[in-house]
Structure 1
């Protein structure tokens, strides 16, 4: 743009010189000569100029404000429009110039910038702050699970995707995580034929019901985490379990099967915190290390809940962590129930 301005200004100065009367007279006198002769120097009274020594366009001519304004008006009258260069010509860009024309159908029109108050960002009615955009709803149906979720080896991570049901899983899945979603129900078919599945984590969903046999067909299942849901009944689980976490649910007095954990010889951790259970779900396997039942409705405990009153040599070394705090039970009323334990349960003693 700077070069264009300087070139036009040079032409204007040259035009003014050529239009002078003395220059015209000199040209008329020497037009028939083979060689043109010019004066070496220019004075105020002698406006002749040597054309061969005319300054290049880069020379900075002193230009008045009027000339700048005239040039700006000329530039405004010549809009620049893009023209596409064909690929065979070696060019890869757009030519811009006053005489170029847009090839119809090849280039889209340049969008005009939004004007203030004419649209673009919606304005709120009274506060003047823009409204928060709505959260997009993901429609995962028909989409391959590993495009929707993250699959790493045998682990499938579907956390915080607004899911309302369990998506179809690859058959070689070993660990499945679908935390912080909107799943409301677990069907029997959700985990059918998942012979390698070892861990299921459905923390913080909206699960209200689980099919009674939803997990029984999983021969390798070891860990189930369904905390922070609305489950009222714990389903039947395989004997291979090592960790069960159903804390922060609505499990009541009939929400756990009788002797539900008896045959789980590898069970290590049982967490049923913050429910409505009114008894300790016995018998508990000898492998159990940690039992959390705080903030339930347990009021009584039998002497043989943890120990064998018929065998005083029986010692339960593994069960070191028992939490009964937050229950309406007085632990000091059943001291014989802890004689086989390495530690007394945590709870109220008075």
Structure 2
């Protein structure tokens, strides 16, 4: 089930830019995981009969904060025009939904004693400040959604057990050193749509942390950031202003399997830039300014999906995609896109696509 949850989150992160997150749909897909934790909590702390369980349900209603709805350890306070975090949130709360309010600040004691919370949704508020000790009791927190706010930087002292952190569409123009220190369980980190430039990422910002999915899109990056987590499997830097890919950009990311560089201003890829990615499966370079197929692709034995459409490629060589001689490709391409380029399909030697599956080529001519 946890594997399914991860796949759901990764697909969600690949949604359209500025697409608001439907928390209720996310809750539906993660509900069984959270409720299992809640059930385990009940089994470990309650040994009473069914009548006592009914009393507990009544207590849920009695203890529910004003203007909120409570059920099965889930507290929903969304769309209530709240200006601050409600008081007296039940200590056994597993999920707290505070999205679509007017909360501007999280105080030191707003979440005091809430040690059972698994998911916290604070999307679409007006947050500008989160106290450094606000999350000190949230030792079980896995999902933290802070997108669509006005935060100027990454909150300090994030819970070490976080599984997913979304902090897109804020005012973050700086990622301070050790901002994610100790987040070794993080699976998904989404920092899209912030005014973040390369100069705003301090050296050591990603030290002592791990993540599988990382997206820094719709920012002001002019180059691939250095010193990203070496654990990353899926890296997305789309919708930036990157002009060039250099040899040293990816040499640290041996585990990388999916790379998204679409919708940038890339004019060139240095030879050997992808040579350090032995496990890469997918590279997206569409909607850039490339004039030729990036060199070195034929050495990537596991590369299956390569998107190059909507560039300025006018020539494709016979050995641009497939290895020559005794070299063998472990997996054939399942998708290569070359449409919306000036190259004509009849100008490309048929042998060029000898390692592409029969339906894996998407070829067309640029429309005038």
TM range (shorter): 0.5 to 0.7
Matched positions, count: 210
Shift of 1:207: 2.4
Residues 94-129 of structure 1, C-alpha deviations (whole Å, 9 max, x = no match): xxxxxxxxxxxxxxxxxxxxxxxxxxxxxxxxxxxx
How far apart are the structure 1 equivalents of 2:263 and 2:189?
20
Using a 3 Å threshold, how does the CA distance of structure 1 residues 197 and 308 change in structure 2: closer, same or farther?
closer
| 1:219 and 2:230 correspond | yes
3-state SS of 1:156 partner: strand
| 1:321 and 2:332 correspond | no
3-state SS of 1:337 partner: helix
Using a 3 Å threshold, how does the CA distance of structure 1 residues 349 and 149 change in structure 2: closer, same or farther?
closer
Shift of 1:149: 5.8
3-state SS of 2:244 partner: coil
Unpaired runs of 5+ residues, structure 1, are: 1-134
In structure 1, the partner of 2:90 is none
| 1:183 and 2:166 correspond | no
If the length of structure 1 is used for normalisation, what is the TM-score?
0.52
How far apart are the structure 2 equivalents of 1:197 and 1:228?
21
| 1:274 and 2:274 correspond | no
From 239, 258, 265, give the equivalent of 1:228: 239
Shift of 1:195: 4.0
How far apart are the structure 2 equivalents of 1:317 and 1:156?
33
In structure 1, the partner of 2:162 is 153
3-state SS of 1:191 partner: coil
Alignment of 1:1-350 (within 5 A): 139-140=128-129, 143=132, 150=146, 153-166=162-175, 168-173=179-184, 174=186, 175-185=188-198, 187=201, 189=203, 191-211=205-225, 213-215=226-228, 218-234=229-245, 236-237=249-250, 238-253=253-268, 256-284=269-297, 285-311=300-326, 317-333=331-347, 334-343=349-358, 345-348=361-364
3-state SS of 2:362 partner: coil
Pairwise CA RMSD of aligned residues?
A: 3.2
Instruction: Give the conservation status (yes or no) of the 8 Å contact 2:301–2:329.
Output: no
Instruction: Give the conservation status (yes or no) of the 8 Å contact 1:327–1:347.
Output: no
If the length of structure 2 is used for normalisation, what is the TM-score?
0.50
Instruction: Give the conservation status (yes or no) of the 8 Å contact 1:317–1:342.
Output: no
